[in-house]
Amino acid sequence: MTSTTGDIALLVIGTFALLTALTFLGEVLALRRPGPVVETYRTRVHSWWAMVILFGLALILGQAGVTLLFAFAAFAALREFLTFSTKARADHLSLALAFFAVLPLQFLFVWLGWTGLFTVFIPVYAFLLLPIVSVLRGNSDRFLMRVAETQWGLMICVYCASHVPALMTLDIPGIGDRSVLLIAFLIMVVQLGDLLDFWFGRRIGRHKIAPGLSPKTWEGMLAGVASAALIGAVVAWLTPFGVLGAAGMAALASATGMFGNLVLAAIKRDKGVNDWSHLIPGQGGFLDQLDSVLFAAPVFYHVAHLVWMP
Amino acid sequence: MTTRNSLVRRMAVRAAGHAITLFARIIAAPRADWRGIAPEQKQRVYYANHVSNGDMPMIWSVLPAALRRQTRPVAAADYWLKTPLRAFAGAEVFRAVLIDRRPEARTSDPMEAILAAIEEGSSLIIFPEGNRNMTDDPLLPFKAGLYNIAKARPDVDLVPTWVANLNAILPKGEVIPLPLICTVTFGSPVHIQPDEGKDAFLARASTALSDLAPPLHDRVAKGEEARA
């Protein structure tokens, strides 16, 4: 067993222990104080189990597994986004291309490690091509709105999501096959930061960041980011960043993610929905679950590239 | 030989049913929103908006299996008898109540077939607009069928059922379906009032259905044909 596999095993066992404790707590609460809140909590823990198991399997399969997992997640997120986006019948072909050509190609380029291509494919080529495909049908009604919303969906749900498996293509000196652990690091600090932001926000939150849009508070966010930094420092052994570097990267990823969550909350509000879909029991949609990770991934990728690659 | 044949056929019917629901789930991840009623074993007539040939399979897919088994769509014979495959799907998988849409050519009264199906205890899925709606309006004017059912069987729940997004998933003339999410919303049942006339009832039923439409985004995809 290589040290990487060993570390993955350690992570998986640690997470399983945490989830087992949370599941046990849910069962006890369900007996003592049954009610809708406990039921929601139990549904969420069950969804967490499914996500952790899937993610663990993907990590063990390595680059192919992680790429495939995030390609599917990106597909689910894009479907949720484009369900509510402005579109017309004239966009049918360009939307079909977004789902069935742009998305698979982006993840293929990531899997092949063609950095020069996957960083510009959607921002340049899809950006120019899809409006051309739409305009050929000759409908100019709300044209800019239609192409802009499609492009925004592709950027968030596909381009940003592809930066998670793209972390495995980073050739940081001395990282070897441990780049897969960077992904575990990113997801862990962002998701735990979100949870702790929520937890602290409920207890010490006073000042809302965006009143009327989200219950997020400055106090909760600061405490969440600080906790993410602390967790990042504790699991710094997963990364090549060192303890301080890992704490800084964790704080950066967590803060970016929280603001990303706010941005997507504004879009949901604008479209008149509470959740993007119903596909993850207790959590809403894939996009609800992933919004913070999607915002954090490209920033995390580029800062790691800037600072740690010679 | 006959028994084996019918066994094979029954299995083919079940497999085809599963394949259709699975396909619908992969393409559109359809979700039922039981807003006005609960999904319980009760005889009902689900009346729905009609924009695409995918409407009926979508409603059929979101019904819980036990309800699906007692529910039969009312469908056009000219469409569902065109090819042997459609005839198999229409008559055996969906167990459709096939009616002839052409008044000049038909030999039997479609209302009789519909009422007979209700009489034997089936729930129904019907599209009271009669045709696929290709206009900008949320609904076409309803045909008399819904009124006739309501009058003949005032005891049966008429459930407005809005299928959202299918006009964007597979518009008429397109080949590749978009994998957008489809929501099927079931509203509160409508019953005819004792002295309610045909037009008043149909208008009320139509409003009850169009009220279930999500705001704005669902209707965005239309309008092009009207403008073109």
| Chain B neighbors of A99, CB-CB under 8 A | 178-179
Instruction: Tell me which residue has tokens 């190609």.
Output: A105
pLDDT of residue A142: 93
Helix (H, G, I), strand (E, B) or coil at A274: coil
Report the b/e string of A217-242 with b at 16+ CB within 10 A.
bebbbebbbbbbbbbbbebbebbbbe
Mean pLDDT value across residues A50-76: 91
Q: Say if CB A179 and CB A172 are below 8 A apart.
A: yes
Burial classification of residue A145, based on how many CB atoms lie within 10 Å of its CB (0-12 exposed, 13-18 middle, 19 or more buried)? middle
A79, A92, A139: residue with CB nearest B174: A92
User: Does the pLDDT at position A6 exceed 80?
Assistant: yes
Q: Which one has a higher pLDDT value, A219 or A9?
A: A219
How far apart CA A136 and CA A158 sit, in angstroms, is 25
pLDDT, tens digit, 9 for 90 and up, residues A18-49: 899 989 988 888 888 888 878 888 888 888 89
How far apart CA B207 and CA B192 sit, in angstroms, is 14
- Show me where the domains of chain A are located: 1-61, 71-169, 173-310
How far apart CA B209 and CA B214 sit, in angstroms, is 11
The number of C-alpha atoms within 13 Å of A193 and in the hemisphere containing its C-beta is 32
Instruction: Tell me which residue has tokens 């800037």.
Output: A306
Asked if the C-beta of A266 comes within 8 angstroms of chain B's C-beta atoms, the answer is: no
A85, A89, A271: residue with CB nearest B171: A89
| Chain A neighbors of B179, CB-CB under 8 A | 75, 79, 99
> Measuring CA to CA, which residue among A64, A266, A278, A287 is closest to residue A168?
A64
A83, A100, A139: residue with CB nearest B165: A83
pLDDT of residue B219: 43
Strand partners, A280: A284
Q: Say if CB B165 and CB B124 are below 8 A apart.
A: no
Q: Could you tell me which residues come within 8 angstroms of residue B130 by beta carbon, excluding any fewer than 6 positions away?
A: B101, B140, B143, B145
CA-based torsion, A121, A123, A125, A131: positive or negative: positive
Closest chain B residue by Cα to residue A100: B178
CA-based torsion, B138, B140, B146, B151: positive or negative: positive
Tell me how far the alpha carbon of residue B151 is from its chain's centroid: 20
Instruction: Tell me which residue has tokens 């990728």.
Output: A301
pLDDT of residue A114: 94
Confidence of residue A10 (pLDDT cuts 50, 70, 90): confident
pLDDT of residue B228: 33
Confidence of residue A2 (pLDDT cuts 50, 70, 90): low
Burial classification of residue A306, based on how many CB atoms lie within 10 Å of its CB (0-12 exposed, 13-18 middle, 19 or more buried)? exposed
User: Does the pLDDT at position A258 exceed 90?
Assistant: yes
pLDDT, tens digit, 9 for 90 and up, residues A179-214: 889 999 999 999 999 989 988 998 898 899 998 888
ipTM value, please give it: 0.80
Closest chain B residue by Cα to residue A272: B215
User: Does the pLDDT at position A128 exceed 90?
Assistant: yes
Per-residue tens of pLDDT for chain B, all 228 residues: 455 668 888 888 888 888 888 888 888 888 888 998 988 888 999 999 998 888 898 999 999 988 998 999 998 888 888 888 888 888 888 888 888 877 776 677 788 888 999 999 999 999 999 888 888 788 899 988 899 999 999 899 999 999 988 778 887 778 888 999 988 999 999 999 888 888 999 999 999 999 998 765 444 444 443 333
Q: Say if CB B53 and CB B175 are below 8 A apart.
A: no
> Inter-chain contact A89–B221, Cβ cutoff 8 Å?
yes
Which of the 8 DSSP states describes residue B192? Answer: -
User: What are the tokens at B172?
Assistant: 């008429």
Q: Say if CB B82 and CB B106 are below 8 A apart.
A: no
Phi/psi class of residue B174: alpha, beta or left (left: φ > 0; alpha: ψ in -120 to 50)? Answer: beta
The CATH code of the domain at B2-227 is 3.40.1130
Strand partners, B72: B124
Sheet holding B31-34, edge to edge: B31-34, B183-186, B157-164, B44-48, B123-126, B71-76, B97-99
Angle formed by the axes of helices A63-84 and A36-61, to 10°?
130
| Chain B neighbors of A130, CB-CB under 8 A | none
How far apart CA B32 and CA B186 sit, in angstroms, is 7
| Chain A neighbors of B178, CB-CB under 8 A | 82, 92, 95-96, 99
pLDDT of residue A188: 93
Q: Say if CB A187 and CB A228 are below 8 A apart.
A: no
For B12-80, the DSSP string reads HHHHHHHHHHHHHHHHH--EEEESSS---S--EEEEE--SSTTHHHHHHHHS-HHHHHTEEEEEEHHHH
Burial classification of residue A179, based on how many CB atoms lie within 10 Å of its CB (0-12 exposed, 13-18 middle, 19 or more buried)? buried
How far apart CA A130 and CA A127 sit, in angstroms, is 6
pLDDT of residue B162: 94
> Inter-chain contact B224–A90, Cβ cutoff 8 Å?
yes
- Beta B183-186 vs B157-164: how paired, if at all? antiparallel
User: Does the pLDDT at position A67 exceed 50?
Assistant: yes
Q: Say if CB B159 and CB B36 are below 8 A apart.
A: yes
User: Does the pLDDT at position A305 exceed 70?
Assistant: yes
Q: Say if CB B180 and CB A277 are below 8 A apart.
A: no
> Measuring CA to CA, which residue among B74, B90, B54 is closest to residue B143?
B74
Q: Is the pTM of this model over 0.80?
A: yes
How far apart CA A73 and CA A70 sit, in angstroms, is 5
